[in-house]
Structure 1
Amino acid sequence: MSLRALLDARCAAAPDAIAVEPAGRPGEGTTWTALREQARAVAAALVRDGVAPGERVVLVARNDVSYFPILFGGGLAAAVLTPLNWRLATDELISMIDDSGTTVVLVDEPVAAALADVLSGRRVVVLGDVPVDGDASWRSFTDWVGPAQDPERPVAPEDVAFQLYTSGTTGRPKGAMFANGTNLAVLVDEIATAWGFRDGDVSLVAMPLFHMGGLAWALAGMARGARAVVVADFVPAAVLDAIEAHGVTTAFCVPTMLAALCAVPGVDSRPLGLRQMIYSGSPIGEDALKRAMVALRCDFVQIYGLTEATGAFAQLSAAEHREGGAALTSAGRPYPWVEVAIVDPETGDEVPDGAIGEIRTRSVQNMVGYWRRPEETAAALNPAGWLRTGDLGRLDDTGRIHLVDRAGDRIVTGGENVYPAEVERVLAQHADVAEVAVIGVPDERWGEAVKAVIVPAGAAPDPADVLAFARARLAGFQSPKSVDVVDTLPRTATGKVIKPTLREPYWRGHDRRIH
C-alpha cells in the first residue's frame, strides 16, 4: 500500500466518481481522474524544485479540497507531507518547520501573512491563484504547479507516507512518522472496514486535516469509495445544511462538535439522512450522548486511540450504543489485531485483572517513531513494540477499556491536546508571576478547560491581564480560560508540583478525572 497505489486503485475502479467536494458547494467536486492529474502537477513541481525522496513538505492551511492533490502529489514524488496546525503561534510553527528540514512550505493566505517575515530561504507556495508580490521564492499555487507529469518515483513499504506533529508527553513538538506498508495499509484496509465505510458513502470531513482524526478519516473513507465532503470552518448550522445538501451518510466528530450540532434549533426534525456518527477525542457524558443519539437519529460508534497509534485502536459498536447500560461509559474493545495491556506506569508490569494502570498498545498501527528523536521514540515505544498512551484505565471482564485518568498532565479541550509545559513556559515570562502550574478542569462545553494556578511575584496580578498575556502568545485552544492565585503550590520532597492534588478540588464529585 502507498498513496500512489490508493490513487491508482480508485482511478481504476471509479475514474469519474467524485473523490472530494467542498462543503456547501454540491456539484463542484473533483473526480478521481482529475485528482490524479492535479496530484501529478504537484509532484512535478516538487521534483522540479529539487525535493528529494523522503524529504518533508510542510502544509500550513485550513481544511480545503486542495489538501488532497498536495497529499497525493507528495506521494507520487516520494516526498512526505507534513501538515501543521495553522492555529499555533508563529514561534511554534517555525520550530516545527525547522525541525522538519523542509525546503518547500505551502500555506494559505491568512497564514502567509503571519509567516511572511520568518520563512526566508525556503520555497513558499501560497494556495490559490492570487498574485504574490515581493520575494521571488514566493509563488502562488496556480503559478507554481506545472504540467501534470508523473515523476514515477518508487516507494517501499517501509517508506514514510506522512508525518504529523504531536507534542507528546513532554510538550516538545515531535514528528510522528507513519509508513506505507504498516500504518497506511492497516488504515485503509482494516480500520476503514471497522468504521463501516461502504462504496458510495458520502463522508463528512469536518475534523482538521492536520490531525490524525481528519487525515485518517478522510483517507479511510476515500479508499473505500466514499466521497469526501470537506468542511473548511465548523459552523454548526452550516454543517447541518451541508449534511442535507450533499447527502452525507457518515461523519466523524468530537463531543464538542456533537453538542454544537445538537444545539442548533430544529435539528431533531431535519431530514439529515445520516447512517452513522463516529465520535472520539474525549469521553462524553452519558446524558449528552443520549441527547445526540435522539437528535441525529443514526447509529453512533465511539473510537479511542492516539496519534502515535494511527488514531483509533479500540471501538464501541453501534449495537452496544443501542443496548445502553454500563457499556456507554467505556471506550470500547481493541480491534482484533490490536493487543492492549494495563501496566504499572513506573515498572511496566501488568496489573491484576480489573485494576487501574497505564494503557499500552501493540500492533501494526503503532508509528515508526519520532522524526530525529531516538530517545523520545524509545521512551514512547519500547523494544517489544508496546506504545505508551499516557492514559490510565482498566479492562472489564468483557474486554472493554474504561478510561479513568491521565498518567501525564495532558489536557484535552474540544478534542485538542494541550500540554501544560508549553503554557507554563509562556506564563512564567509574565512579570507578576513567580510560579505557575497549568491544569485541566471540568467544562460543560469543551470537556476540559485550561486553568492557570499562579503564585504571584508580589501583589496579586489581574487575572484578565494574565489571560490577555497568554492569548497574545499562544493559540486560542492553549490559552487558559481562568486564573486562580494561591500562596503556594503543592510539591513533592524533590520540588515537583503535585498536579493530582492541584486538580482534586475541581474534579470532586466526578467519577473520572478526564472529560
Structure 2
Amino acid sequence: MDIDRSILDVFTNACAKFGDRPAFTCLGQTLSIADIDRLSARFASYLQNHTDLEPGDRIAVQLPNVLQYPVVVFGALRAGLVVVNTNPLYTRRELKHQLNDSGAKALVVLANIADTASAVVAETGVEKVIVSEIADLHSPLKRVLINSVAKYIKKMVPEFAFANQVNFRDAMSLGARQPHTDVQRAPEDVAVLQYTGGTTGVAKGAMLTNRNLVANMEQVREALGDSMKEGEELYVAPLPLYHIYAFTIHCMCLFAIGSHSLLIPNPRDIPAFVKTLKGVRFTGFAGLNTLFNGLMRNPEFAELDFSKLHTTASGGMALTRDTAKRWEEVTGCVVTEGYGMTETSPVVSFNPADAVQLGTVGVPVPNTEVKVIDENGNDLPNNSPGELCVRGPQVMKGYWQRPEATAETLDSEGWLRTGDMAVIQDDGYIKIVDRKKDMIIVSGFNVYPNEIEDVISAHDKVAEAAAIGIPDEKSGEQVKLFVVKADPSLTVEEVVAYCRENMTAYKVPKQVEFREDLPKTNVGKILRRELRDEELKKIEAAVSA
C-alpha cells in the first residue's frame, strides 16, 4: 500500500492508464477520464493565469452532483489549492462562517443557489466568484436547452449579483488559451478542508492531507478486494460529492481504477432517480439507510436491472436490519455497512461482503488500529463498551486553526477519540452501541444541538432552549426543540420560521414544545438526555397502547 503519493499522482496515473474510460455521467452527458484531464487542466490554467491564487490558498466549491464538480476539484488540486467542500444547502449564516473560517479566496457556485452567497460574500475574504449553470459541460444544444428550462421555465435560478463574478464557461475559455503547470504537493500537505461539527456543534475544518485521502482510498480498495475491478465498475452516486464519504468513493477510489460514476443531482426526487437508473446495469451503489428505504417504496424500483449489482455500501447513519434484509430481497445484493467520520477521511471499518454481520460496522480497514477506553482513558478489553478510538494513516492532521479542539480529539500518539460508544467483539467486528452523546443524525447529516440552541436563543422571545433527536421512520431521526419563553406571545410558527431563516432545512425542528423550565444539573447544564428519555418513554407507551 503506497500512501506517500499525492492526489495529483493518483490522478496522473489514472489519466495515463484509463484515458478512454468513462468517468462521470450526469443528465445524459458523459465525460471520460481524458475529458476530466483536459477540462481540469483548463480550470487549473484559469486559476493560475487569471486570479491571484497561490498554492496553499483555499477555494470553496459549492456544487451539487454535476459534471463541473470533478473538473473544478481536480483543477484546483492541480493548481496546488486546498479545496473547501461547501454544502449547497447552507444558509447565509452557515456559508459566511465557513468562508471566513477557511479564509477562502475564491468560490465556485451553482447559479441555482448563488443568491445565498451573493448576500454574504462581500463580508468575507472571497476575491473571485465563479458561477456555473447546471449543464455548462453538456453539448451546445443540450446545454442551452437544460439551462434555459432551469432558468426560464422552472424558475430554478434566483436573482443574484457579485462584484467579482466570472462565468464558468468564460473561465474555461480563458484557461484554454494558456498552459497550466501541475503543482506537486507533499503527502503531508492539506488537500481538502472538510467542515464538520466534530464532537461539538462548532463547525470546524478537518484538515485532510494528501496522505490521508490516498491512504483511505487504498484502504477501501483493499477492503473491497476483487469486487472493485479496474475499468469495469459503474457505481450509482446519489450521495453528494462534497460529503467526504462520496468524495472518497467516487473521486478517489473509482477514478483511480478507471471506473464510472453515475451522478444523481437530486436524489430526493425518487421517481426521477429511478427513471435515471432504467436500462443501466450498475455494479455498485453507495448510499444510506433513508435513501434505500425511499427507493424501495417506489414500485418501479424493483423492476430495475440488478443483474450486475455486486456491492451496496451503507454509511452515514445506522443501517436497520429491516432495510438491509429488504434491499437484499429486492436487489439480490447484500448491504455492507461501514463506519467512519469526517476526521478519518472517512472510512474506519467495513463489513466484508462475504462475511457480513448485521448490527455491526464490520472490521477495521487495513493499517487501522481501534480500541475502546473508559472515562479515564484506560484501555478496555473486548466486549466492554467504551469510547471508540482510532489510529491510522487516514486520521486527519487536525482541525484548521483550532489547536485546542485538535488537542481534545487527537492525542500525542495519534489516537483519535471518536466520541462514539462501541464494543469490539472477540472476532474483531465493531458494534456501535451509542453515538456521540447528543448528536442528531437526520438522513445521514450530522445535526448538533449546540448550533440549533445557539441560533434560536438569539430570538428575543426565547429564554432557554434544548434540542434533541427523536426517532423518525423516514429520516432516521428528527429534531425536537424544547423552548422556555421569554415572551408569552411566542408561537411555534415563529420559532420554526426563525430556524428556517438561519439553518439548513434538515436542521429545522419538526417538533417544538414549550416548557416552563428545562431539566438541569446542579451547575445549570441542561440535561438533554433526560428530555430524550422522556420522549422515548412517550413513544414506547404510544406503541404499546
TM tier, smaller:
over 0.9
The CA distance in 2 between the partners of 1:391 and 1:142, in whole Å, is 45
- Secondary structure of 1:319's match? coil
Using the alignment, how far apart are the partners of 2:517 and 2:480 within structure 1? 16
Alignment of structure 1 residues 318-357 onto 2, 5 Å? 318-321=353-356, 327-344=357-374, 346-357=375-386
What TM-score do you get using the length of structure 1 for normalisation?
A: 0.92
Show structure 2 runs of 5+ residues with no match: 137-146, 152-158, 541-545
Which among 103, 106, 111 is matched to residue 113 of structure 2?
A: 111
- Alpha-carbon contact 1:243-1:272 (below 8 Å) kept: no
Q: CA deviation at 1:494?
A: 0.9
Cα contact 1:244–1:272 (8 A) shared by 2: no
Shift of 1:510: 9.8
SS of the equivalent of 2:120 reads coil
Cα shift readout 1:17-47 (whole Å, capped 9, x = no counterpart):
111111x41xx21111221111111111111
1:222 aligns with 2:222: no
Match for 1:221: what amino acid? L
Deviation at 1:379, TM superposition (A): 1.1
TM-superposed deviation, 1:269: 3.5
Which residue of the other structure, out of 427, 448, 451, is the alignment partner of 1:419?
A: 448
Unaligned runs of 5+ in 1: 322-326
Equivalent-residue separation in structure 2 for 1:320 and 1:510 (angstroms): 35
Decide whether the 8 Å contact of 1:187 with 1:310 is kept in 2. Answer: yes
Question: Is the 1:21–1:65 Cα contact (8 Å) retained in structure 2?
Answer: yes
Which of 274, 283, 301 is equivalent to 2:318? 283
Query: Following TM superposition, by how much is the alpha carbon of 1:133 offset from its aligned partner in structure 2, in angstroms?
Result: 9.1
**Could you tell which deviates more after superposition, 417-426 or 389-398?**
389-398
Q: Distance in 2 between matches of 1:109 and 1:139?
A: 12
What secondary structure sits across from 2:119 in the alignment? coil
* Secondary structure in 1 matching 2:506: coil
Q: 2:176 matched to 1:174?
A: no
Distance 1:479 1:14, change over 3 A: same
C-alpha distance after superposition, 1:403-458 (max 9, x if no partner) = 12234311111000001111001111234322110011111111111110122225
1:442/1:289 Cα in 2 relative to 1: closer, same or farther (>3 Å)? same
Count of residues paired in the alignment: 501
Residues 461-472 of structure 1: matches in 2 within 5 Å?
Answer: 461-472=490-501
Question: Which whole-Å deviations, capped at 9, do the CAs of 1:290-321 have from their partners, x for residues lacking one?
Answer: 11221222132111110101111111222334
TM-score under structure 2 length normalisation: 0.87
CA contact (8 A) 1:470 1:479 kept: yes
Q: CA deviation at 1:135?
A: 5.2
Listed one character per residue, the Cα deviations across residues 143-183 of structure 1 (whole Å, up to 9, x for unaligned) are 12324423132221111222211122221111111112x21
- Cα distance in 2 for residues equivalent to 1:270 and 1:106: 36
1:362-402 per-residue CA deviation (whole Å, 9 max, x = no partner) reads 11110111111111111111111111112112122222211
Q: Secondary structure at the match of 1:329?
A: coil
Match status 1:317 vs 2:321: no
Distance 1:242 1:504 in 2: 42
Which of 1, 8, 11 lines up with 1:7 in the alignment? 11
Q: Pick which of 501-510 and 203-212 moved more.
A: 501-510
Superposed CA RMSD: 2.1
CA spacing shift, 1:184–1:134, aligned 2, 3 Å:
closer
Aligned partner of 1:384 in structure 2 is 413
Q: Distance in 2 between matches of 1:407 and 1:162?
A: 24
Q: Which residue of 2 aligns with 1:193?
A: 222
Q: After the TM superposition, which of the residue ranges 269-278 and 490-499 deviates more from structure 2?
A: 269-278
Counterpart of 1:204, as a letter, is V
Match of 1:231 among 259, 264, 272: 264
> Is residue 372 from structure 1 mapped to residue 401 from structure 2 by the alignment?
yes
Q: Is the 8 A contact 2:114 2:160 kept in 1?
A: no
Q: Measure how far apart 1:57 and its partner are.
A: 0.8
Shift of 1:65: 1.1
Q: Is the 8 A contact 2:22 2:258 kept in 1?
A: no
**Partner Cα separation in structure 1 for residue 430 and residue 199 of structure 2:** 21
Task: Report if aligned partners of 1:267, 1:296 keep a CA contact under 8 Å in 2.
Answer: no
Is 2:522 the partner of 1:493? yes
* Cα separation, partners in 2 of 1:136 and 1:494, compared to 1, 3 Å: closer
Aligned residue in 1 for 2:63: 61
Change (3 A) 1:507 1:329: farther
Match of 1:143 among 145, 159, 170: 170
Which residue, 16, 20, 25 being the options, matches 1:16?
20
CA distance in 1, matches of 2:261, 2:195: 23
Tell whether the 8 Å contact from 1:188 to 1:224 is kept in structure 2 after alignment. no
Aligned CA distance change for structure 1 residues 14 and 407 (closer, same or farther; 3 Å): closer
Structure 2 residue identity aligned to 1:43: A
The one-letter code matched in structure 2 to 1:47 is Q
Aligned CA distance change for structure 1 residues 407 and 166 (closer, same or farther; 3 Å): closer
Moved more, 265-274 or 408-417: 265-274
Is the Cα–Cα contact under 8 Å of residues 343 and 349 in structure 1 kept in the other structure?
yes
**Per-residue deviation at 1:468?**
2.2
Distance 2:57 2:539 in 1: 47
> Contact 1:7/1:32 (CA < 8 Å) preserved in 2?
no
Q: Partner letter of residue 250 of structure 1?
A: G
2:154 corresponds in structure 1 to none
Equivalence map 1:250-329=2 (5 Å): 250-273=284-307, 274-321=309-356, 327-329=357-359
Greater shift, 260-269 or 86-95, is seen at 260-269
Structure 2 residue 276 is the aligned partner of structure 1 residue 242: yes
Match of 2:234 in 1: 202
Matched position secondary structure for 1:246: coil
Asked whether the 8 Å contact 2:58–2:84 carries over to 1, the reply is yes
Work out whether residues 62 and 232 of structure 1, in 8 Å CA contact, stay in contact via their aligned partners in 2: yes
Q: Secondary structure at the match of 1:245?
A: coil
